[in-house]
Amino acid sequence: MVPSGIEVIPADFPEMILKLNAEVSGTRPREVLALNKFILSRMLQQGYSTFRANSEGGLPAVATGGNGSFLAMPVRIFPQPKPNKEVKPMEPVKEIETKEEPINPLDELNHGIDELRGKLKLLFDESAVLTRKLKEVVLEQKQKEREFVQTRRAIERIRAASGF
């Protein structure tokens, strides 16, 4: 509130100020009344002309003069604390010296052979599992073929016995 009326200041664009001529009655507010900008614009669009709010700012505000009454709850805005800490510049990172030991070609070759043996053992284990699964499938297939032949012979005997 200002002596000439009301000033509306958006929180996200404080440089934009809407000045409205208005009659102010009652006590001057002790706190800033913060309302959602969409609610305030809706009140104005619907023709509400009288606006009543508590001087403490914590109770709902009532707008009248349009179609009935419009009740709006103010938004609490807490002051943001300003940092009092001094920003200390970061210390440069100390570089750690690494000493490269000469690589012995025989040790490197020995390490390579050990890795190859490990990979070959893994491949051998996997091939043994696949071989076992293949043998199981072959046995199942042979069993199904035997059952098929036996079923076909039984059907032929039944046909021969019944005369079809």
Q: How many angstroms from the chain centroid is the CA of residue 78?
A: 28
pLDDT of residue 13: 72
- pLDDT tens digits, the chain, 164 residues: what are they? 666 677 777 777 777 777 777 776 777 766 667 777 777 778 878 888 787 777 666 677 788 887 788 878 776 665 566 666 666 676 776 777 666 667 788 888 999 999 999 999 999 999 999 999 999 999 999 999 999 999 999 999 998 888 76
Beta strands in the chain (DSSP E): 5-8, 18-21, 50-52, 61-66, 68-72
Helix (H, G, I), strand (E, B) or coil at 144: helix
pLDDT of residue 36: 74
- Determine phi and psi for 45, rounding to 5 degrees: -65, -35
The CA dihedral of 142, 147, 153, 154, to the nearest 10 degrees, is 170
pLDDT of residue 142: 96
Say if residue 39 is exposed, middle or buried (CB neighbours under 10 Å; 0-12, 13-18, 19+).
middle
- Determine phi and psi for 43, rounding to 5 degrees: -60, -45
Distance between start and end Cα atoms, the chain: 110
pLDDT of residue 77: 64
pLDDT of residue 33: 72
Say if residue 40 is exposed, middle or buried (CB neighbours under 10 Å; 0-12, 13-18, 19+).
buried
pLDDT of residue 151: 96
**Under a CB-based contact definition with an 8 Å cutoff, are residues 47 and 65 in contact?**
yes
Whole-model pTM: value is 0.39
**Under a CB-based contact definition with an 8 Å cutoff, are residues 13 and 27 in contact?**
no
